[in-house]
Amino acid sequence: MSTIRPWRECPFKPGMRYRIRQNFVALRDAFVAGEVLTFESDAWSRYDGITFYFFRQLERETLRVWDIDDDADIHAWLGLFEELSDKVAPTPQ
C-alpha cells in the first residue's frame, strides 16, 4: 500500500479489480452497483484536503475518480467497493 499522507494509507492495491457494491456519487463521478474497476493510483491535494483514488474501467477511456475528504473515515470504502480476487496486468504507458 502506498502512503501519501502520514495519517492515511491507501486501501486499494494497484492492478486489483474492485466491484462497486452500491450506487453512489463522488465529487466528480457517479458509480453504479456492479461496475468493475481496476485501481491505478492515488493522489492527495493538501489545498483541497481531499484524496483522489483513480480507477480504470474497460468500457471507458477516461479515469474514474473516487474522492474522499481528509476528515472522512477511509473505512467507508468497504461499503462502496468489493475487492475481487483476480489481478489484471498493468496498463502499458
Taking only the tens place, the pLDDT of each residue in 37-48 is: 999 999 988 888
What is the C-alpha to C-alpha distance for residues 15 and 90, in angstroms, rounded to an integer? 6
The reported pTM is: 0.82
Most confident of the ranges 47-51, 55-59, 71-75: 55-59
The arithmetic mean of pLDDT across residues 59-83, rounded, is 92
The torsion angles phi and psi of 40, rounded to 5 degrees, stand at: -110, -55
Q: Average the pLDDT over 4-11 and give the result.
A: 69
Using the predicted structure, report yes or no on whether residue 88 has a pLDDT greater than 70.
no
Residue of 50, 57, 55, 54 lying closest to 74 (CA atoms): 50
Sketch the domain layout of the chain as residue ranges. Answer: 9-86
pLDDT at 71 over 90: no
Domain 9-86 has CATH 3.40.50.2300: no
